[in-house]
Structure 1
Amino acid sequence: MTEWSIGAVFDAVAAAVPDRTMTVCGDRRSTFGESALRTRRFANFVAARGFGEHTPRHRLDRWECGQDRIALLMRNDRYLDALIGCVQARVVPVNINYHYTAREIRELLAYVRPRGIVYHRSFGPVVAEAAPDDVELLISVDDGSDATEPAGTVAFEDAVRLGDADRVIATTSDDVVMLCTGGTTGRPKGVLWRQSDLYVSSMNGADHDSAVALHDLARMTGQVWFAVSPLSHAAGIMTALAGLLAGQTVVLYDDRNPFDPRIALETAQRENAALMTIVGDAYAGPLVREMRARSYDLSSLLVLGTGGAATNPQHKRQLLELLPHVMLVEGYGASETGGMAFGRSRHGAEVETFAPGPGATAVSQDRTRFLAPGDTEIGWAARIGRVPLGYFDDRAATERTFPEIDGQRMAIPGDRASVDADGTLRLLGRDSLVVNTGGEKVFVEEVEEVLRAHPGVFDALVVGRPSPRWGQEVVALVCPRAGEDVTDVALRQVCKLELAGFKVPKEFIFVAEIRRLGNGKPDYRWAAKRVVPGVAEEIGA
């Protein structure tokens, strides 16, 4: 069997279904054939300026990158064209979260060290402030903004026009993609994936003998996949490419404006989406409220996927009540593992655990053995097989997160898990978020779930803070629903009914809004600062 690069897979699919709509974003539509020509021209424009591989993969350690990098500071429109154009030029695309501040973007770019940046025009001032001095190529994508751009910037359409339309650059399965982690609890890291490993483990791909299998697959597909989550995050990239590389039509949310559940549902209805993917409660709650307020014809929808952040059981039940014909699939994974386990629920048959996909497993606390079904130990979620090479420019973190057990290299992203008797994984939460209080461990997601289920609570985050008595104590940030009079006494009572005493928050802090990152994940760094006395006044609610 032959391993494939992402660019080679895309070319094969585009050749099979050139007239099929590939992407829809707002008013812009593009067929596979149109995008194939556009990405080839863009790749040749970049390659003609000397971008590409400079050190073969076999000469490098796992945490090293021998290819030039281009940072993508982009909204969803044209994102896939830029990404595919990069990999076709043997250049490493790097996702940059445009919700970061200029300071955070500057620090991330200093770490990634890109030779080029592709950005939407409205981010021009940020690029001018944050781009390293040695960046050689700036390319802007028109988003209707009249923002000032740095001198020497090339328009994306000009780059496409100037690129060779015929030359096909030979790529390899060892070419890499870098996925920056979400930075939920710390500074983002760049995860280095071999393209063939990412394609197989996270995009429903396989090692094909020839392009014939890809042609046949593309001609058999043609569903519409609606990726509501932003492509500036790994989960969005994986979902969109999984559909695109199988020949599906991928609808992208037009994120020039903030998420609006009415627009999302109108888009799903208009495009007859069969699959719709969201990110946890930040999307699920608004969708539930909108579907209760207005009627939508979502009869074409077969699967609603959610991942990247927790989805409250209450929201799951409500979504399935509103969409009884739909399967709700909760995905578990990380930039370091790809999608590795899935919980599949239907109306009246909700599940709490995750069925492991290929290579998904759990290892013991000391990382010396694999956990067997029914093992009572709480260990670590892990994946073996086709996993990333490591973290860019970080040997220590690479060896810690991608160790070997019984001669097998694996990815252990830091989530605690156990294995139920039926072999499914029970996810307990990120270890870095565990609160150690009085010798007991509290997984914050468990407390958050109880709080978010309260009818008067719109959103909640739970973190630990230093305590002279307990070492750490559990504190909850709570955003009440509009018009609801929720008290700490009532919330404490609810928690006592559902949780052990040591898990009940010592304090409830009411805020006007729970801050979340651009992908819908909770901003635990903000929350940790918010609960420290004296800091709250400085950063506001």
Structure 2
Amino acid sequence: MTDFKGFYDNILASFASHPAIIYGDEVITYRELDERTNRLAHAFLDLGVKRGENIGIAEYNTPAFLETVAASWKIIARAVTLNFKFKEWELKHVIEDAGMTTVVFNEDIADRMINLRPELPGVRNYIIIGERRVEGMHNYHELVNSKPATRPQVPWESFRPDDIVVLMYTGGTTGYPKGVIYTHDQVLSAPLEAMIRNFAGGLADLAKAPRHVFEGIEKTLRIPGTARVLPWILSRPATRKALAAMGKRAGPFILKSPDPVIRTMLRGMAKLTGGKVRVLLASPMMHAWAYNHALIGMIGGFTSIMLPSKSFDVEEMIQAIEKHRANVLVAVGDGQCRPFADALDRAAAEGRRYDLSSLLVILSSGMALSVDVKRRLLDHLPQLVILDVLASTEGHYISVTPYTAADRELEKTVFRVTDMVKVITEDGREARPGEIGEVAVAREHQGSSGYYRDPEKTARTYRTVGGKTYIFTGDMATVDEKGRIHLIGRGSGCINTGGEKVFPEEVEEVINRHPAVELSGVTSVPHPRWGEAITAVIQLKPGASATDEEIISWCKQHLADYKAPKYVLFVDELPRLITGKVHYREIRKMVHEKYERGEIPDSGA
């Protein structure tokens, strides 16, 4: 049986001379990553971290983030993502919910952690990444540099099949952040199987890609003849059938193979792909989309490219693609791809050209990728394959739609019903064409186990239909006659703004605490970059006054900035149901009518 810790140790050894992380101008090989994470693992042990404990990590996309993850694996503990944008109460909720005993965090949130410290008796160790020093807290770099680079020996057993290896917090589909569980066996099988199965489903479309795509793959792999042979291979029904079968068997193969077989396989992978697969993580790793691909990179021997800036800078991203020859870009829909397309348009208009010939794939999820943006990117980069991915923290890769320059129609993203992905109606059956239901993915092979210490929320999201357990995503959709899934919105009312999930209730709760506010209702309007822009409709108390700026500032004082409204509308009286609750349907109707009339701008912050 394959042990995850042993598997990862074999990755570090097989890819030792190849780059694991590129951060600005710093290149860290797998050998160096091994030594750095050994030092941090020793530090964790000396601080009293025990088997199975949760270590919080609130950090930008830096080597320290992945070092914390890998070091936790080495001592049979686990790193748990923390959103560095969270306010104090939000951080407190996740830290307490996960039962974290150690928190590693960027100095930018040090004041929040200092204020929270008296309220977190369960946290024994605070480790600051950066230059700041705080009494009673450890400095990350000083701590790491003081420890040996030898591999630590732990006095307890390694990971068991049902041990939690990855715990990611997500806004998810049913309320406040919840910890999504991936066990030892799921980590070794779920990502690989989901990717293979979805790749198999898109082979027919990829086989029709223009020659630039295959020439780019040949140049990356440095295997002569790839561009000539690969289209033929992809077009064969036997290839699709073999890959689909592999998608069901890859996990059991890895889990049951003896260590010598795994070592031989990884050495072969290192010769074929070592240093060649370079993934630029444009979105923050504190979210599952980038974090999953960072994890896939760590256990697949890929190179993860990180941008030093603390906020998204499209020019920095383009320069990194050029300089480091990135061939995969992990991005969040229009939020990051629209500025990318705009930058390419500007360069073309000015007679400039970027050398982005290495970029072969854009993986997009988290928010919609519009037809206009797809077309512009493919016009500028004909070697590109855009993979529009329906994904979730709970279900990993759910469905993938590929687009290339050969596609004449780049319709609004649709996905497909398969044996793993269904649209289920309220009464528990598969939706017929035209019916509305909720997208659900079978947990078998590619899903998580449930929510950490929360059986009630687990039962609501992980449900059995027809004898099979499905993960219900919260995405509402219809199915057409061709078996294509058309997304229409979030059933939970969750707002997706720039890939961030925001629940109207938590914004309303803050707004309603403002001394001038009688009642509020929160909805959204379309936004060209962020997908949805949070819009607050407010009824003030008699005789009270407030401005847009005051409400937005108030929200930013009490919530993460991205949860604050971008637009604020004041009304004499909010529409309500007979029960006195806000009538959301009427609010949405009113707001969208104003939007259509141009009374709410279609662009903004």
Decide: shared fold, TM above 0.5.
yes
Q: Is this contact kept in 1: 2:439–2:474, CA < 8 A?
A: yes
Partner of residue 248, structure 1: 302
Counterpart-to-counterpart distance in 2, 1:10 and 1:113: 26
The equivalences for 1:72-471 within 5 A come to 72-77=57-62, 78-131=64-117, 132-142=120-130, 146-159=131-144, 161-162=146-147, 165-169=150-154, 170-176=158-164, 177-182=166-171, 186-203=175-192, 204=195, 206-207=251-252, 208=254, 209-210=257-258, 211=262, 212-221=264-273, 222-256=276-310, 258-294=311-347, 295-347=353-405, 349=407, 350-355=410-415, 360-366=420-426, 368-371=428-431, 375-384=433-442, 385-386=444-445, 387-433=447-493, 448=526, 452=528, 461=533, 467-468=575-576
Q: Is this contact kept in 1: 2:128–2:137, CA < 8 A?
A: no
CA RMSD of aligned residues (A): 3.1
Once the two structures are TM-superposed, the CA of residue 344 in structure 1 deviates from its matched residue by 0.7
Secondary structure of 1:236's match? helix
Q: Is this contact kept in 2: 1:15–1:33, CA < 8 A?
A: yes
| Cα deviations by residue, 1:290-321 (Å, 9 ceiling, x for unpaired) | 11222211011111111111222222222222
Of 15, 18, 29 in structure 2, the residue corresponding to residue 17 of structure 1 is 15
Q: Is this contact kept in 2: 1:193–1:389, CA < 8 A?
A: yes
Task: Give 1 or 2: higher helix fraction.
Answer: 2
Partner of residue 39, structure 2: 41
Counterpart-to-counterpart distance in 1, 2:370 and 2:590: 16
What TM-score do the two structures reach when normalised by structure 1? Answer: 0.76
Paired residues in the alignment total 455
Q: Is this contact kept in 2: 1:219–1:247, CA < 8 A?
A: no
Amino acid at match of 1:304: I
Partner of residue 70, structure 1: 55
In the superposition, relative to structure 1, how do residues 380 and 185 fare at CA in structure 2: closer, same or farther (>3 Å)? closer
Partner of residue 501, structure 2: none
- Which is higher, the Rg of structure 1 or of structure 2? 2
Q: Between 128-137 and 205-214, report the one with greater CA deviation.
A: 205-214
What TM-score do the two structures reach when normalised by structure 2? Answer: 0.68
Counterpart-to-counterpart distance in 1, 2:26 and 2:401: 34
Q: Is this contact kept in 1: 2:36–2:149, CA < 8 A?
A: no
Q: Is this contact kept in 1: 2:178–2:452, CA < 8 A?
A: yes
Partner of residue 529, structure 1: none
In the superposition, relative to structure 1, how do residues 368 and 351 fare at CA in structure 2: closer, same or farther (>3 Å)? same
Q: Is this contact kept in 1: 2:423–2:438, CA < 8 A?
A: yes
Counterpart-to-counterpart distance in 1, 2:530 and 2:137: 47
Counterpart-to-counterpart distance in 1, 2:28 and 2:602: 43
Counterpart-to-counterpart distance in 2, 1:153 and 1:45: 10
| Cα deviations by residue, 1:403-458 (Å, 9 ceiling, x for unpaired) | 222332221121113334444432222112289xxxxxxxx99x73xx63xxxx99
Counterpart-to-counterpart distance in 1, 2:11 and 2:278: 16
Q: Is this contact kept in 1: 2:174–2:457, CA < 8 A?
A: no
Counterpart-to-counterpart distance in 2, 1:80 and 1:23: 9
Counterpart-to-counterpart distance in 1, 2:321 and 2:416: 29
In the superposition, relative to structure 1, how do residues 458 and 44 fare at CA in structure 2: closer, same or farther (>3 Å)? closer
Q: Is this contact kept in 1: 2:389–2:398, CA < 8 A?
A: yes
Counterpart-to-counterpart distance in 1, 2:185 and 2:309: 29
Counterpart-to-counterpart distance in 1, 2:375 and 2:591: 24
Secondary structure of 1:413's match? strand
Counterpart-to-counterpart distance in 2, 1:410 and 1:20: 39
In the superposition, relative to structure 1, how do residues 301 and 492 fare at CA in structure 2: closer, same or farther (>3 Å)? same
Partner of residue 509, structure 1: 600
Counterpart-to-counterpart distance in 1, 2:287 and 2:422: 25
Amino acid at match of 1:37: E
In the superposition, relative to structure 1, how do residues 312 and 512 fare at CA in structure 2: closer, same or farther (>3 Å)? closer
In the superposition, relative to structure 1, how do residues 299 and 129 fare at CA in structure 2: closer, same or farther (>3 Å)? same
In the superposition, relative to structure 1, how do residues 192 and 48 fare at CA in structure 2: closer, same or farther (>3 Å)? same
Q: Is this contact kept in 2: 1:114–1:135, CA < 8 A?
A: yes
Secondary structure of 2:458's match? helix
Secondary structure of 2:473's match? coil
In the superposition, relative to structure 1, how do residues 472 and 460 fare at CA in structure 2: closer, same or farther (>3 Å)? same
Q: Between 197-206 and 266-275, report the one with greater CA deviation.
A: 197-206
Amino acid at match of 1:38: R
In the superposition, relative to structure 1, how do residues 255 and 187 fare at CA in structure 2: closer, same or farther (>3 Å)? farther
Amino acid at match of 1:167: P
In the superposition, relative to structure 1, how do residues 390 and 434 fare at CA in structure 2: closer, same or farther (>3 Å)? closer
Amino acid at match of 2:84: Y
5+ residue gaps in structure 2? 196-249, 348-352, 496-522, 538-573, 578-582
Partner of residue 596, structure 2: 492
Q: Between 233-242 and 100-109, report the one with greater CA deviation.
A: 100-109
In the superposition, relative to structure 1, how do residues 418 and 459 fare at CA in structure 2: closer, same or farther (>3 Å)? closer
Q: Is this contact kept in 2: 1:343–1:351, CA < 8 A?
A: no
Once the two structures are TM-superposed, the CA of residue 240 in structure 1 deviates from its matched residue by 1.6
Counterpart-to-counterpart distance in 2, 1:345 and 1:173: 38
Q: Between 19-28 and 154-163, report the one with greater CA deviation.
A: 154-163
Q: Is this contact kept in 1: 2:74–2:152, CA < 8 A?
A: no
In the superposition, relative to structure 1, how do residues 217 and 427 fare at CA in structure 2: closer, same or farther (>3 Å)? farther
In the superposition, relative to structure 1, how do residues 283 and 353 fare at CA in structure 2: closer, same or farther (>3 Å)? closer
Q: Is this contact kept in 1: 2:41–2:74, CA < 8 A?
A: yes
Counterpart-to-counterpart distance in 2, 1:196 and 1:240: 18
Secondary structure of 1:191's match? strand
